[in-house]
Each structure stands twice: as C-alpha cells, then as structure tokens.
A and B are shown apart, each in its own frame.
Chain A
Amino acid sequence: MSAPAIDRSLRPKPGPPRSYQFPRFERRRLENGLEIVVASVSKLPLATVAVLVDAGAVCDPQGREGTAQLVAKLLLEGTDKSDGAELTERFERLGATVDGQADWDAAAVTMTALTEHLPAAFDLLGEVLRTPAFRPREVARLKAERTAELLQLRAEPRGLADELFSRFLYTAQSRYARPEGGDEESVDAIMREHLLTFYEARYVPGGTTIIAAGDVSVDDVEAMVRRAFGDWRGAAPERVVSDDVPARQERAVHIIAKSDAPQTELRLGHVGIPRNHPDFFPVNVMNAVLGGLFNSRINLNLREAHAYTYGAFSAFEWRRQAGPFVVSTAVRSDITDAAAKEILLEIDRIRAEAIAPDELSLATSYLDGVFPIRFETTAAIAAALSVLVIHKLPEDYYDTYRDRVRAMTVEQILQAAQRYLHPESLQLVAVGDPAAIKGPLEKLGFNATTVYDTLGKPIAG
C-alpha cells in the first residue's frame, strides 16, 4: 500500500517574526580587579549568580588531577565561620540552590535565589569564596565520594565510554587525557595542603568574574559585590593551557571488555578545534547537519533507516584548547560493525560532496529560530554570559550570532567538513562484549585493535 502524495500547500506559513534581543548586559570592574557582568531581566522575582574563577581543571597540577574539582566543591563544605552542615543550612533556609563545580576552563559557584533573599545569599557567596576552611574531615569525605563515583563508572557503559575515549584521544601529558574530576591515582595523591595552595593561588579577585542575571539592577549587584568582595585582594594568576596534541595519527579500535553486554556503547572521533577558532560557525553548522540535530544524517541513518539505535549524535566539545569531536551512540551488539560503517560513510559523505541547500537551511533556520528559546531562564542567561567571559568572545557575540549562522553557505560547510573532520585519524572506542564485536570490528580495517579492562589496561582478548 503506497500512501497518497502529501499536499505541502496545506502547511501554515509563519507570520512576521517578532524581534528578539539577547538580554542587555553591563560590565563593571572593581578596584581589586574583580569583574561584574549583569543582565537585568525582570520576568520573575528571581536571579542567578555565577562566580566564575579562573581555576578550571586545566590548572590541576600534574599527578594531582582532580584538585580544581575538589576545591570548587569544598568551598560549599564549610567556612571559617560555619561547618558544612550549617553552611548548607544557611543557603537552603533562604531557598537558595547553590552548586560548586570546576569544568575544564573555569570553576564556578552558581546560585539561584528569589530576589528578596539575594542580599543575604550574596553575603554567603562572599563567605564561601573568601574563607573556605577545607576541614580535613570534609576533604577526606569528598575524596572518598570521588572514589565512589569512579567505582560506579566502571559498571556504567555510557560514562566509561566517554572517559576512556578521551584517554585514548590525547597524549598522556595532556590534561584532557584524564577525567575532569581526576582518577583513582591522582585523587588519592591530593592532600589538604595541595588544595590550600591551589585555592590561594587561583581564587583571587583578579581572576574572578561575577555574573548575575535576573530581577536585579546592575547598581544593586555592584553594591552587593562591594559588600561581600570589596576588600578581597589578589592579582590575576597566570593563565594555564592544556596540551591538546592527539595521541595517534592513525585509526585504531579500542574495545573495553564488558562480557555479555546486550548493547555496545560506541564512540568515534578525534581531536577537534578550540572554541575560539575562526571557523567555529561553519564547523558548528556542519556538525548540526552531520549529527547535531534529530534529523541529522547520522541519526536518520542509524535510528530511522536502520533501527540500530535509540539515538546517535555528534558533537564538538568546545574548550579553550581543542576538545574532542565525537560521534556517540549505543547499538545492539550484533550490528556494532555495521553501525560503525554507517558512521564512517556519513563522515566520508559530508567531506566528499556539498550538502543539499535544504539540509543547510534546516540547520541554520533551526539555530537561528531556537535562539530566543535558549535564554528563557536566568540560569541559561548566566551560562551564556559565562561562555562569553571564559572564551573572551566579542561583546556583540550574541547580537550577531543569528546573522552569522544565516550567512553560512554550502561551500563553507563542505570546506569545514574537509578541514576539520579527519577520517584518517579516527579513534573507535567500544564498550561491549569482545566475543561478539572484536572480530567484526577488526574487519573495518583500522590500524590496530586493542582490548582493555574497565580501568583502561590492555588485556588479552
């Protein structure tokens, strides 16, 4: 039975678009070097504050990876004035949700609170950033919690595939080769004094930006910042960069053995490009077509045409140095090789010939149209401003974003695919059953196939 032809003239046409501006923001700088960025958005009585510190995981000392993450988390585990339980209580009685995190490029303490509690909550932020106590008991506990996390990872195929993919991608000297939060060995080596040294060197007003978005004025934020951080002192620390050199120039297959796995977690990719790369826009749009959208080539192929998976997507991870480009999916064990072949075909295809104008317009009209939807919440606006600060993007970056996306051509996309996708150096990581997948994957013709245990140590297999 063939379905009758579809009458596309029935589809409603859009009305004229209403204009949208990314929220206006203002920057101020205190005498002590601390930067303030404020976007006043008064939709609801709420604000998000992110204290951004140049103390990301790339700053970790070699052999003690995980320091940045531990420091960021420990800020909220007790100050000179309050122990961890009491400090948490003081935030939460205000209804303030607060989290400390270090990603690759920055550490951030992020808090959302109702406007009426903002002054009190701001004072607490000052206290945690300036007088963290790093009590030995909390240090030991957080180290143990990271150990527990790593232990859990060994049995969790998705996280394991992500972690080991990075490990195989970068040289051992690269900070990117080890997890953001550190591994068993490096976390074990971190002592309280290391945390204090790291904190003192990097948590200084000269390396800190306070971002606020929500129902609050820039003057009010400045007053609150002055009260909580005005007499803080310290010049900007040296900027640290990670080595982002690929470990291998040739294709290789890495199998992490998980016997009897009903599914294979598959990662295929290579080292990508840094966030500040001049070709960010063409690469981003190219990736949307390749594997970024639901209707991308990779997802339509693997999910809708072949039913190999629940979903497949590709991404460039944007960092100050070159983060990974990775295609991720989970597929039935018995078709692991067939799924990998389709991904390889899609990577070759997007480099061989220009994408159709329709594919380009799907990607650009999506990225253009969805722009206002990305910034509905104070948390999302604060996160967007954090990206601006971390990567030193131009002040009009969000104002020109949509024009730049719309200006992309199929030629630029082809060029981006040819320049920034490297089929010859793809690394394939598969967490699955070697008995079922090793033989078929070897036939893909990659340079080498190695089987590892869940800690990433080579085993016979």
Chain B
Amino acid sequence: MNDWLQFRPMRIPIDTFRLPNGLFVTFSEDHTAPIVAVNLWYHVGSANEREGRTGFAHLFEHMLFQGSADVDANEHFELVQRAGGTLNGSTWLERTNYFETVPSNQLELALWLEANRMGKLLPAMTQQKLDTQRDVVMNERRWTVDNQPYGSWMEKLPALCFPSDHPFHHSLIGSMEDLTAASLDDIAQFFATYYTPDNAVLSIAGDFEPAETRRLIDKHFGGIPKGKGKPPLPDMSLPKTFGQWKREVVPDEIMLPRLFLAFRTPAFGTPEYYPASVCGAVLGLRNGSRLARRLVRERQVAAEAAAFTYDLAKGADLLVVDVTARPGIPAEQLEHEVAHEIDAMVRDGVDAGEVQRATALIQTTFVSAMQQAGERADRLSMFATYFGNPELVNEEVTKYQAVTADQVNAFARTYLDENNRASLLYVPREDSPTELVGAGVAADAQ
C-alpha cells in the first residue's frame, strides 16, 4: 500500500523582481486572512566575521532594533506591536534575518521600518546603545550557554567539526572578550559592507496587492544605494568526510551523559542533501525513528534521541544525532550503543517502509509550516539568498518523495562510516551530586 506517496503537490504562487540597486524581491500571495509577512535576509552571518570579532554578526542584529534615523531607540518593537504585529530577528552561520507579520493594512509601516534601518541606521548608533546591547548579549550568552546544562554544545560542536581556519569553526554568540572589543567603528564598517540592498532578499507573503506593494518597495527601498561589494569568504570547501573519528569529552554540571554525534554531509540544497536529510529523519525524527525505537523503547539506554541537520549551504553540512542517557547508563556505554545502531544502519541498510515513514512526516511538517505567512516568506528568502531561486520551495516535497531506500543506503555507507564521525560526549563532572544519579538508578530497577 503506497497511498501515502500520492500527496497532491502543493504549490505556492511566486513572483520575483530586482530593484536597480540590487535588492531581490519575492512575492507570494495568499488572501485567506488579512495578514502579511515581511521578511528580509541579509547574506551575512557569523561566517563573515573577522578574527577577534566573534559574535559580531549577532551583536549587530541586536543593534538593528535600537532605532534608525527616523526611529527612536526601542521604537521599532513598539511600532510593530502597536500595529498588531509580531517581529524578531535571528543570526545564523550564513545569514541574518529580520521579520514581521502584521495586519495587511500595516504593510507599508513594516516596509518603511525595514527600509529605514537598511538605509539610515548609522545616525542612530551611539556608544551607550552599543554598551547596553553588549551587556544584553553577554546575558544571553550566560542564559543559553554558560548557565545551561550542555549549553556549550552550540559552540563546541562546530569547533570540533570544522578546521580552525574555516568560517564555520568559531562561536556564533562570540566570546566575552571579543564582544567587549566591539566598537562603533566596527558597527559602521559592518553596516556599510553587508547591510546593502544588493546583499539582501526581501520576501512578502500573504494578503497584499502586488502592484501597489511593488510601488511601495520602490518608494522606500529604491533610493538606498547599492553596496560596494563584500570581501569574498575564504574557500569554504572541505574534504568529503572527516577522514577520522574526532572525539571530545566535556565534563559539565549535568546529571545524565549526552552524546552529540556529527557526520559531515553534503551541503544543503545539493541533490545528495535530500537522502541525507531523510536518513536523519529515519534515525531521529519522532518516536518511530530508529534511535527512539531501539535505544529509548527497546534497549532503554536513552531517555531521549533525535537527529537534525544544520542546513549549511556552503562547503559541507552536518547531520547530528543527539542522544541523552537514561539514569545509570555510563557515557561510554551510551556512545557504544549509538555507534552500534549507526553501524547496523551502514551494514544492513534501511527498508522502504522506514523511508516512507520519514518522508510522510516530513511532508506533514512542511505543509503545517506553510500555513504561516511568516514561514512562507522565510523559506522564499532562504532559497533566494542561497541559490537565487525561490521557486525551489515548491520542489521540496517532490525532492523528498523521490528519495529511495537505495539512495539513503548509499548515503549511509559513505557518510555514516567510522571515518566520518565527530563525537561530543558530555559527562557529569566529578563533583556533581552523584547520589541523585544513584537514586535514579534505584527507581529504574523497580
């Protein structure tokens, strides 16, 4: 029975154009609710940071909410919320995005706000704002990394998986030292280099009138001068695999061991990415996945198991398996059990049913996400930024459906091999209160 494969292909309407200053615009209309999403991707992320300025792309993202020539400090948030909109921004290795979803009659406000900070940010920048946001970011770092069990994985894993001179190697949130060193001059320089219309994609999704919206985009963004070009990234290419099993053991203030096991995999968007992504879902998407079934349900050595990809479009991607031990299971055993399952997959392969389960779940998740204007706009921006082709969003489901068990098995044989692994193994620090771990074991045995 193959009826789950006969999914009606869902296509969203897409229109694109480019302003003379290089701003690439994508449109996707949907009038089911009076809501419109505005989404801007700047093609700059932590990978573009220079030495001694780790964390700068993210700190800069904070500064973009501190006002611009015609917008006061903290007013950006206030104006959008007063309009009944939601908003945020985020920084990733390869890009930084800013987005609002607003009632459709407030579209021009959102466009104006984005244009104002793209065109006229610097007059609003002050040392005091920079000092405040630096402290806010340091608190963000304490909250997400330093005072959070396992929190350091976000910077330790890329550091382990990419060579020290590779742009994906260093910390996205940055070191306290580098954050302290960031100056207003750095802000001005970064802005002039990367926050230019020709280094950005603007996507509009939802309830809007295309001709009028195009006029508004011309009006607000058209006068922003094109940039002078950005320094090229160093060569991002990497050997196909790690060529070894890299290992790092991290003692931390934690109760249970946890393993992040990474594989170097084909870059996001390449034809080989799709078998990799499906393989990840077979391994770790939801309760029926291999790791959940084998390690959580049957062997009961793990409390949780999942897998995900970083979706890096340059050089190489990472597929990561993330498994937390059950109380009483030592770290070495956890690593051994996970490796055993990976080896079994490489050796014996997956069957068509496992692939169908994975693709069916991926489809539901995809369609679910596309209900939201903000998600549509974000994916349009992503495909336009990385590949210059937003239409790729409509090919996603077909590409996933086309993945076969043979392709997943070929992928697994090449990329899940012992010579392409990096394990970051968290172990409870010796002074952690082990008597509690003991209590957990006792409960377990009953």
Chain A residues at the B interface, C-beta cutoff of 8 Å: 1, 3-4, 6-7, 10-12, 14-20, 43-46, 76, 84-85, 88-89, 91-97, 112-114, 116-117, 140-141, 143-145, 147-149, 151-152, 154-158, 184, 187-188, 261-263, 265, 293-295, 300, 303-304, 307-310, 330-332, 361-362, 365-366, 368-373, 375-379, 454-455
Contacts and interface: CB of A to CB of B under 8 A. Distances in A.
Given A45-B8, A184-B439, A365-B83, A263 B444 contact: no
Given A145-B296, A152-B303, 13 more contacts: A6-B72, A18-B207, A46-B371, A116-B6, A148-B303, A155-B254, A309-B139, A310-B136, A372-B35, A373-B84, A373-B85, A373-B86, A378-B371
B79 A17 contact: no
A265 B146 CA distance: 13
B103 A372 contact: yes
A44 B35 contact: no
Nearest first, the 8 A-B pairs at minimum CB distance are A369-B84, A95-B360, A307-B135, A18-B34, A12-B108, A310-B140, A148-B303, A15-B105
Given A96-B364, A262-B142, A295-B78, A16 B437 contact: no
B33 interface: yes
A114 B109 contact: no
A365 B84 contact: yes
Nearest to A120: B3
Given A117-B4, A332-B142, A361-B82, A147 B443 contact: yes
Given A3-B126, A293-B81, A373-B85, A152 B255 contact: yes
B143 A330 contact: yes
Interface in B76-93: 77-79, 81-86
A76 B108 CA distance: 48
Nearest to A18: B34
A91 B287 CA distance: 10
B7 interface: yes
Nearest to A153: B255
A437 to B, nearest CB: 13
A394 to B, nearest CB: 23
Contact of B105 (A18, A158, A362): A18
Contact of B82 (A88, A151, A366): A366
A143 B108 CA distance: 53
Interface string B130-148: 0111011101101100111
Contact of B368 (A11, A307, A377): A377
Nearest to A288: B81
21 contacts: A12-B112, A85-B298, A92-B286, A92-B357, A112-B364, A112-B368, A141-B300, A144-B443, A151-B327, A155-B432, A188-B446, A294-B77, A303-B136, A304-B74, A309-B139, A310-B137, A332-B139, A332-B142, A365-B82, A369-B83, A373-B102
Contacts of A18: 34, 103-105, 207
A263 B139 contact: yes
B367 interface: yes
Nearest to B147: A263
A17 B33 CA distance: 11
A330 B82 contact: no
A429 B368 CA distance: 39
B362 to A, nearest CB: 8
B189 interface: no
B326 to A, nearest CB: 6
B166 interface: no
B354 to A, nearest CB: 9
Interface string B347-360: 00000010011001
A93 B353 contact: yes
Nearest to A148: B303
B81 A148 contact: no
Contact of B143 (A156, A263, A293): A263
Contacts of B225: none
Nearest to B360: A95
B429 to A, nearest CB: 10
A140 B370 CA distance: 39
Contacts of B74: 295, 300, 304
B360 A308 contact: no
Interface string B309-324: 0000000000000001
Contacts of B271: none
Contacts of B79: 11
A405 to B, nearest CB: 11
B287 A88 contact: yes
A262 B147 contact: yes
B253 A148 contact: no
Nearest to B129: A304
A148 B326 contact: yes
